[in-house]
Amino acid sequence: MRIAVGADHVGYDLKDAVGGFLTRLGHEWTDFSPRVLDPEDDYPVVGSQVARAVAQGEFDRGILICGTGIGMCMTANKVDGVRAALCGDTFSAHSSREHNNANVLCLGARVLGVGLALDIVRDWLAAEFSTEERHHRRVTKMALVESAGSC
């Protein structure tokens, strides 16, 4: 799987741990994070870059990391075609894929320990979008809200 990964200055260390984990799992990943840590490298820049790369089909999925994960999630969800999910547990991670077809995972570096973060990544990557019609219907309605403002 091809995965776009990005972090701001707060999420940088967790991003490195996630990247190493992705490599061990056999995934190809590209780091969109700034090369030099700077508190002025704000999350909307890297968040939008990863989200656009996923929406344009350059990557299968994306993972974004900031302090809480909230800013990255809000930014990524501004990009048409992105369904970003902020997950703090493995159940939500799995469900975001199975029920909502999330294509971007957001994590909070100040909220999660490394072990739990890697468990979340593992379960999110392993989960597949359900074949049940109700989930497809709902994701289609989300896309209508995105394009037309309502469903």
Per-residue tokens: 44: 């909307």
Closest to 127 (Cα-Cα) out of 97, 99, 83, 82: 97
Per-residue confidence (pLDDT) for residue 137, from 0 to 100: 92
How far is Cα 55 from Cα 123, in angstroms, rounded to an integer?
Answer: 22
Per-residue confidence (pLDDT) for residue 37, from 0 to 100: 73
How far is Cα 12 from Cα 142, in angstroms, rounded to an integer?
Answer: 31
Which residues are identified as catalytic? 66, 99
Interval 8-22: pLDDT, tens: 999 999 999 999 999
Q: Would the pLDDT of 39 be above 80? A: no
Alpha-carbon distances of 129 from 74, 91, 103, 113, rounded to whole Å:
22, 14, 10, 27
Of 55-59, 124-128, 140-144, least confident by mean pLDDT is 140-144
Per-residue confidence (pLDDT) for residue 62, from 0 to 100: 98
Q: Which residue carries 């967790």 as its tokens?
A: 14
E-strand spans in the chain?
Answer: 2-7, 28-31, 61-66, 84-86, 104-108
On whether the CB atoms of residues 82 and 55 are closer than 8 A, the answer is yes
Per-residue tokens: 12: 């940088």
On whether the CB atoms of residues 21 and 48 are closer than 8 A, the answer is no
